Chains A and B, each alone.
Chain A
Amino acid sequence: MSILKPLKAWKHLAKKPHTIRYPYEEHVDMEGKKLPVDTLRGFHTNDLDKCIGCGLCGKICMNEAITYEKIPELKEKGLKGINIRPVIDYGRCCFCGLCTEICPTKSLKLTPNFKLISTDKKDYKFMPTQLVEKNDDFAVDLDKVLFSPDDYSKKFNEEEKDNAKES
């Protein structure tokens, strides 16, 4: 027991902090590997030509996040199967991956991509395609969503004023 030992914590003043300035700084693990890894369960990708529209993914999804939409162009290409493809509502999806495990053609997969920022809730429901695999698809204009603290308080004050006017 000691009253002086806790003071050793001061030596952390000279150390690098745990926290990183995400997303400006990269998130790496202890061995310096970049995260997220490829196995992270994020948004889906679906190979529309491989998918046969069997509807199993919608049946196993317990959140009822999957609905189907008709794609007439697929029929013209002389495709086997049914011309419906899954549309996923990310307001409901919990990224469990049961749909990808049950998919008989393995066309539906999860990607490590998890960034989606939007103020419109309609944006959270869309048909996953191969394109989603590329991170750029979701590349968000960071400056638009991340305000500097000063801008933030300015914006907040303006909104407050508007609210006050309305009420």
Chain B
Amino acid sequence: MKEYELFIGPQHPGTTGNMMYHIWADGDVVKKVECNVGYLHRGFEKLMESRLWMQNVPLICRICVPEPDVNEAAYAMAVEDLMEWEIPDRARYIRTIVLELARISAYLMAIGGYAGSIGIYTLPQWAFGDRDYILDIFEQLTGARVYHIYIWPGGVRWDMPAELPMLMEKTLSYIEERLKMYDDVLFRNRIFFDRAVGIGKIPHGKAIEWGVTGPNLRACGYGYDVRKLEPYAAYDDIDFDVVKYPNFNGFDVPSEGCDVYSRMLVRRIEIEQSINIIRQALKKMPSGEHILKHPNWLRWKVPAGYSFKRVESSKGEYGYFVVSDGGLKPVRIHVRGPSYTHGINVAESILKEANIADVSQILFSLDVCAPDIER
């Protein structure tokens, strides 16, 4: 059969966000892929150069929709580094809780989206519904459901309301309960098993070379997690093990890793890990101040220098490179989004020789987020 072209995106439920994969296929088999971005460029990095240090805070969270808090945390950490600030202990714990809640909500979205891509439409409805219970917590903690603008340089915006830990505990137990249903419908489902094992493999040894990070790298058997290697917030006081292939406690490990199956299972197990982290953080949380005193925002000068701070997001390693010349505004801010490598280089390579029907499940398993490719 003759080779033909196919466009997946920019408006296609099989891609995660407004981006396009231009595919050349022979029959059912993909021969060549070209990733096409540019539908979502909002110029955040340039915009940040023309705003005061504090004015950037409401802007940066908009870079990533499913998990905005990692942006706030990385930016805040970089500014604190330049200011040589040591944030209060309570703020460190609240940040950990917020980041882990955001991780759970992002994973729920990723798992729901993935299940939709292999035709299990029950799970997207459940996952998005359950995610809303986490947004309820965010609403009470931060005053907003999606863009929280809560992690500020120097700490967190408000203290945690006294009754919130109870609601969190209730929601977490509910999600734990629900995960059992998720297992029945997706993770222990024969359909998932047959469709995902051995599909979309990142070739052995290539993962590091290609710059894969986060759950996608852990699915290849590397125990790489920024939370462990370079602990930020309160992660150094918290006891947790990095989830990696093949330590899928209780789940089958039929494949050699690096495939769709292991990538999704790492995410599934990390939800439990996040729940565990939040419980520990709630227990250990000290009392005290939640934020340092800010200088006058309109005349806030950050000392000259540069700082690169990274955090572990649900998609991979997320970093902010901030340069200051000692002025009122940053000189340059560069965002290192994990989807840049996953969505362009990795996806273009591993989609080759894949079946057209598998294209969207491979993309969803990489958890590509178009907004953080383009900023």
Q: How many residues of A contact B (CB 8 A)?
A: 30
Q: A-side interface residues toward B, CB under 8 Å?
A: 1-3, 5-6, 8-9, 18-19, 29-31, 33, 35-37, 39-41, 56, 59-60, 62, 94-98, 102, 110
A57 to B228, CA, bound (A): 41
How far is B55's CA from A2's CA once the two chains are assembled, in angstroms? 53
**Contact status B143-A2, CB under 8 Å:** no
B357 within 8 A of A: no
Which residue of chain A is the closest to B123 with respect to CB atoms? A9
Q: Looking across the interface, which residue of chain B has its beta carbon closest to that of A42?
A: B143
22 contacts between A and B (CB under 8 A): A1-B188, A1-B189, A3-B189, A3-B190, A5-B185, A5-B189, A6-B184, A6-B185, A8-B184, A18-B125, A18-B129, A18-B130, A18-B132, A30-B136, A31-B166, A33-B140, A60-B54, A60-B297, A62-B52, A94-B147, A97-B149, A98-B55
Within 8 Å by CB of B139, from A35, A94, A110, lies A35
B: number of interface residues (CB 8 Å): 41
- Are B51 and A41 touching (Cβ within 8 A)? no
Residues of B within 8 A of A95 (CB): 144
CB < 8 Å A-B pair total: 91
C-alpha spacing A30/B167, complex, angstroms: 7
Q: Does B181 sit at the interface, judged by CB under 8 A?
A: yes
The residues of B that contact A29 with a CB separation of less than 8 Å are: 133, 136-137, 140, 167
CA distance A18 to B137 in the complex (A): 16
Whether the Cβ atoms of A30 and B170 lie closer than 8 Å is: yes
Nearest Cβ in chain B — how far from A8, in angstroms? 5
Give every chain A residue within 8 A of B140 (Cβ-Cβ). 29, 33, 37, 39
Measured CA separation A8–B170 after assembly (Å): 24
- Chain B nearest CB: distance from A103 CB in Å? 12
State which of B52, B137, B188 has its C-beta within 8 Å of the C-beta of A5.
Answer: B188
Given A6-B185, A62-B58, does the pair A30, B133 have CB atoms closer than 8 Å? Answer: yes
Tell yes or no: B122 within 8 A of A by CB.
Answer: yes
B174 within 8 A of A: yes
Q: Using CB atoms, name the residue of chain B closest to A27.
A: B136
Interface positions, chain B 173-205, Cβ under 8 Å from A, are: 174, 181, 183-185, 188-191, 193
Chain B residues with CB under 8 Å of A36's CB are 139
Residues of A within 8 A of B171 (CB): 30
Q: Mark B137-162, 1 if CB is under 8 A from A, else 0.
A: 10110011001010000000010000
- Which residues of A are found within 8 Å of B130, using beta-carbon distances? 18
Kindly state whether residue B252 has any CB partner on chain A within 8 Å.
yes
Contacts of B189 in A (CB 8 A): 1-3, 5-6
Please determine whether B54 and A98 come into contact, CB atoms closer than 8 angstroms.
Answer: yes
Q: Which residues of A contact B191 (CB under 8 A)?
A: 3, 6
Residues of A within 8 A of B229 (CB): none
Residues on A with beta carbons closer than 8 Å to the beta carbon of B57: 96, 98
A31 to B297, CA, bound (A): 38
Known: A6-B185, A94-B147, A102-B298. 15 other contacts (CB 8 A): A1-B190, A1-B252, A2-B190, A19-B129, A29-B133, A30-B136, A30-B171, A31-B166, A35-B139, A40-B144, A41-B143, A41-B144, A60-B52, A60-B54, A60-B298
Residue B8 at the A interface, CB < 8 A? no
Complex formed: what's the CA distance from A97 to B144 in Å?
11
Give the docked Cα–Cα distance between A6 and B120 (Å): 10
Instruction: List 7 A-B pairs, minimum CB-CB distance, nearest first.
Output: A96-B58, A18-B129, A62-B55, A5-B184, A29-B136, A41-B143, A3-B190
